[in-house]
Structure formats: structure tokens, C-alpha cells
Amino acid sequence: MAGLAPGEAGRGEAELAAGQAGGGAGLRAAEAAGRPVRRRAGGDPVKALLHRHRELCERAVDPLEIAAGLEAHGITDRTAARFRHRDVFSLAEELYARSPRGEHPAARPGRAPAGAPAFRGFGYALLPGAVAFGAAAVGPAWAGPVAAAVTVAALVWPGRAARGRFPYAAHLLAAALVGWAAHRHGAALAVGLALAVAPGHLVAAGFAAGARARLGGSRALEDFADRARPLLIAAVAVFTAAAAGAAALAGAAFPVAVPLALLLFLTRLLLRHGAHRGPVGAALALALIPVPAAAVAAAAGLLVHAVLALSRASAHARP
């Protein structure tokens, strides 16, 4: 979907107020400040919004996708009231009804939106575990550094598609965390993390596909959030079990390997869906503290953030 940079969400209502038609500087300033304003009876405030988000509205395949885009730009139910609607979803329904869609192949009836298959790239996800396992068998002295390198590379690879600026800081912290953990706990831990990459890729792809399906079947943003949270919890549970199996196969200690694997999985998932990087960086930094419970606390905190961030429809809007 066009125009869904999460970094723009902070502009929100003030930017919207500045874009409405028929106002002048005084009207725009009053709206940005949240003060009630009077409009001309013949005005059409939705028309200006439709023009501003024209590409988003024309490419959307349903009203909820428009609502997700508006949500990503910081539009709330309070903002929707300025456009004479009770909530964001009602506003999105009018924008959808008033938008032509004939020229966009992704929105033509009977044709599926263009995009890569959900599980494409699984072969690449198998490489870190294979390389790490091979290094452990051929040259045990190199197993730790090799496994740490391919694990970080697997984390960086999907991160390049995250919306907005490339998350360099998050990836550097992740690299430092994996390297530090491998240095402290041995090559077995690094190999276990590398083996967890493949199931992490599958679980992340399954979660993304399931969330998109629920996005299409929901009638409101709250309805989608109620459907997305159990899906995320199930994905985390499946991956945690897979990470435990990978740790057992590599001979790594469960209390350290599983929380670290979960932390890296949530990092990848959040970056891939364009979530804010601040909580991700804070969790990775916390896990660097040389205390056994640090990784557990970091993973638990990032899970709470993921439940909140990934239950928003805008996190699953079509790029």
C-alpha cells in the first residue's frame, strides 16, 4: 500500500488539518490545535482528504485497507469527526466508495494482488543452519564465529524491506548481542541460534499470511486487533518450541538459547512489519547486560511491544 511510512504517524492530526480544503491559514491552525471550527455548508472536507491520499485509496482492495493506511498516518476517531464521520472506519468506507480503481491491476475484480508467495525464500532461510552445522562438523574452532555471522545475516536480510530508513542501529545491536552471547556461552549457542532461523522464517511467513487474511475478513480495526493477537501468541509459541528443538540439537543451554532466539525472532518480525525501532533497540541493549535474567526480561518486554504493535492493521498493510 502506498504512503504507509510509520515515521509519518507522528504528524497525524495537525498535518491532516493543514490539508483540508476551503479553510485558509486561520482555519488550518485552529484545526491543528484541536479547537472547534465552523465550516461552510457547501464544503466537502472529504474531497480534500481523498485528493491527499489518492494513491492509497485507489490501490486499496477494501475499506479496511484504507483505514489501516489512515491509522498509519496518525488519523484517529477524533480526526474522523472533523470529516463528519463517527470513526476512522466509517471515513475509510466513504473514501473507498468515492475512489476509482480501474487503472490499478491490484484492485481489479477477480485478480489477486501482485506479490511474492508467502513462503518464497525458505531455501535462503535454511542456509544459516546448514552453514553453521557444517562449520561445527568440519572446524569446531570456527563454528562460533561462523554461526554468529550467518545468524546476523539472516536477521538483516528481511530487515531491508522494513519501511522507512534502514534499521542500522537495531542490526548493530543484534550483531553485538549474538557475538557476545557466542563468546560467553560457546559455539553451541551460536549454532542453535542459526538453526532456529529456518523455523523462524516459516513462522513469520505464516503469521504475515494469517494476519493479511484476517485483515481482509475484519469489519473494523478493533475486530482485526482481536483476531491478530491470538495469532501472534500462537506464532510465538510455535517458534519457542522450534527454538527449544534447535537448542537441543546443537547442545546449547535452554535457559540462554531459547530467550535469545525468541528475542531475535521478535526483532526480525517487528522490523519486517515496520514497527518503531526504539523498543527493539532497548530490548537488544538490555539483553547485552551480563545477567542471566536479562535476555528473558528483554524477550518478555519485546513480546509485550509486539502484541501492541502487530495488532494494528497498519502493520500488515500491503507494501
Whole-number pLDDT of residue 56: 84
> In the predicted model, what is the mean pLDDT of residues 129-142?
76
Q: What is the pLDDT of residues 251-261, one digit of tens each?
A: 999 999 999 99
Q: What is the pLDDT of residues 204-238, one digit of tens each?
A: 989 998 998 887 777 677 778 899 999 999 999 99
Of 104, 90, 116, the residue nearest 60 (C-alpha)? 104
Summarised one tens digit per residue, pLDDT across range 279-319 is 999 999 999 998 879 999 999 999 999 999 999 877 876 65
Residue 65 CA: distances (Å) to CA of 59, 68, 204: 9, 5, 21
Residue 240: the pLDDT is: 97
Residue 201 CB partners (closer than 8 Å, separation 6+): 121, 122, 125, 154, 158
The grid cell for 280 is 527493539
DSSP designation for 219: S
pLDDT digit string (tens) for 30-81?
344 444 444 443 467 788 888 888 888 888 877 888 888 888 888 888 888 8
Could you give the CA distance from residue 272 to residue 57 in angstroms, rounded to a whole number?
A: 23
Report angle CA 27, 28, 32 to the nearest 5 degrees: 120
Burial class (CB in 10 A: 0-12, 13-18, 19+), 106: middle
3-state helix, strand, coil in the chain (%, to 5): 70, 0, 30
Predicted pLDDT of residue 302: 96
User: How confident is the model at residue 319, as a pLDDT?
Assistant: 53
What pLDDT score was predicted for residue 231?
A: 96
Q: What is the pLDDT of residue 32?
A: 46
In the numeric block, the cell 479547537 is attached to: 35
DSSP-assigned states of every residue in 296-319:
HHHHHHHHHHHHHHTTSGGGG---
Cell representation of residue 230: 491470538
d(CA 246, CA 265): 14
Is pTM, for the whole model, over 0.75? no
- Per-residue model confidence as pLDDT tens digits over 2-19: 344 444 444 444 444 444
> How do residues 177-186 score in pLDDT, each as one tens digit?
998 988 889 8
Which range (108-122, 266-280, 284-298) has the least confidence? Answer: 108-122
Kindly state the cell numbers that stand for 207: 503469521
CA 164 to each of CA 157, 171, 212: distance values in angstroms, whole numbers, following the listed order: 15, 15, 21
Distance CA 111, CA 279 (A): 38
The residue among 263, 274, 257 whose CA lies nearest residue 303 is 263
Short-list 294, 292, 273, 75, CA closest to 305? 273
The confidence score (pLDDT) of residue 99 equals: 79
The grid cell for 195 is 538453526
Name the DSSP letter for residue 33.
T
Predicted pLDDT at 113: 41
CA distance 149 to 141: 14
pLDDT at 158: 55
**Domain extents for the chain?**
6-107, 122-316
Q: Are 276 and 309 in contact (CB under 8 A)?
A: yes
State residue 65 phi and psi, 5-degree precision.
-65, -35
Residues 304, 161: Cα–Cα separation, whole Å: 23
Q: 57 phi and psi, to 5 degrees?
A: -70, -35
Question: What grid cell was written down for 10?
Answer: 507522528
Phi and psi for 21 in degrees, rounded to 5? -85, 160
The pLDDT score that the predictor gives to residue 264 is 93
